Amino acid sequence: MVPYATTADGHPEKDECFEDNEIKSNSLPKLEILYFNVMTFTFLHLSALYGLYLGFTSVKWATIGLGIIFYFFAEIGITAGAHRLWSHRSYKAKLPLEILLMVFNSMAFQNTALSWARDHRVHHKCPDTNGDPHNANRGFFYSHVGWLMTKKSDEVIKQGKLCDVADLYSNPVLRFQKKYAVPFIGTLCFVLPTLIPMYFWGETLNNAWHFNMFRYVINLNATFCVNSVVHKWGYKPYDKNICPTQNV
């Protein structure tokens, strides 16, 4: 069951999405395809498939091990960082832990943690309506990755502006990541996992780069499945009419 979104001080937000009939799922706005994003995700997944092939044929075991380590660090950065800490404020973290989670989150490169948390708060504020960035009523593919291949609707943009994210913008750790996003995230997600195997155990550039692309795409799809698979398969013990399900 989808938990309520909260304001920066922890109080439940008002459910404008359910009070405004204009953003109900029975009047889906037309999508505008972002062809650059389509080509980008196509390239990423083709590179990942090639990386998987290399993993079975020529990639060294040490490179595979490093990929597994980066995968789990990146997942911690998304689940414990962007999701539980910054989106939902489920716990408090001291500065060293918060910095570590920001570093791990950068290994995942799913936009900045600030943008990730904002979109996730909007999702919980407006679940499965036109205000939801990845509205499951648009179908499996859209909620999985299609929402990143299309322009945000006016309603999603509106709800994003209405969402209380003052705590995120006042966080110096998140502001640092946002300010230096391109060099910082690019280095942690792509450069380091490519250079480390080449320098320390003589992996080829082709193998190191493409196997890391495989790792990165697996990280992406692990997150995407929460928006798609979890809304399609599972059981609904509380409300049979909502899209989210309970999963073991």
pLDDT single digits (tens) 174-202: 999 999 999 999 999 999 999 999 999 99
Pair 106, 177: CB distance under 8 Å: yes
Residue 234 has pLDDT above 80, yes or no: no
Report how many domains make up the chain: 1
State the pLDDT confidence band at 3, using cuts at 50, 70 and 90.
Answer: very low
User: In the predicted model, what is the mean pLDDT of residues 218-238?
Assistant: 79
* 3-class DSSP state of 17: helix
- In tens, the pLDDT along 157-174 reads 999 999 999 999 999 999
Q: What is the mean pLDDT of residues 80-90?
A: 97
pLDDT class for 235, splitting at 50, 70, 90? low
The CB-based long-range contact list for 15-22 (8 Å cut-off, 24+ gap) reads: 15/125, 16/125, 16/126, 16/159, 16/162, 17/125, 17/126, 17/127, 17/129, 17/131, 17/132, 17/159, 18/129, 22/130, 22/155
Domain membership of residue 17 (yes or no) is no
pLDDT at 229 over 90: no
DSSP 45-60: HHHHHHHHHHHHHT--
pTM (2 d.p.)? 0.86
76 occurs within a structural domain: yes
**Contact by Cβ (8 Å): 245, 233:** yes
Look at residue 27 in the predicted model and tell me its pLDDT: 77
User: In this structure, are residues 188 and 161 in contact, taking their beta carbons and an 8 Å threshold?
Assistant: no
Tokens of 52: 């998987």
Task: Give a yes or no: residue 72 inside a domain.
Answer: yes
* Residue 15, in any domain of the structure: no
Position 23 scores a pLDDT of: 47
Mean per-residue pLDDT, 13-22 = 49
What does the CA dihedral 228, 230, 236, 240 come to, rounded to 10 degrees? Answer: 0
Residue 217 within a domain: yes
Angle at 138 between CA 215 and CA 82, to 5 degrees: 40
pLDDT at 112: 98
In a domain? residue 23 = no
- At 55-69, the pLDDT tens digits run 999 999 999 999 999
Residue 248 reports pLDDT greater than 60 = no
Q: Which residues contact 18 (CB under 8 A, 6 or more apart)?
A: 129
Candidate from 30-34, 73-77, 211-215 with smallest mean pLDDT: 30-34
Domain that holds residue 102: 32-231
Position 230 scores a pLDDT of: 79
AA identity, residue 192: L
Residue 18, pLDDT above cutoff 60: no
Q: Is residue 75 part of a domain?
A: yes
What percent of the chain stands above pLDDT 70?
82
Dihedral sign of CA atoms 25, 27, 32, 38 in order: positive
Is 240 inside a domain boundary? no
Residue 40 has pLDDT above 70, yes or no: yes
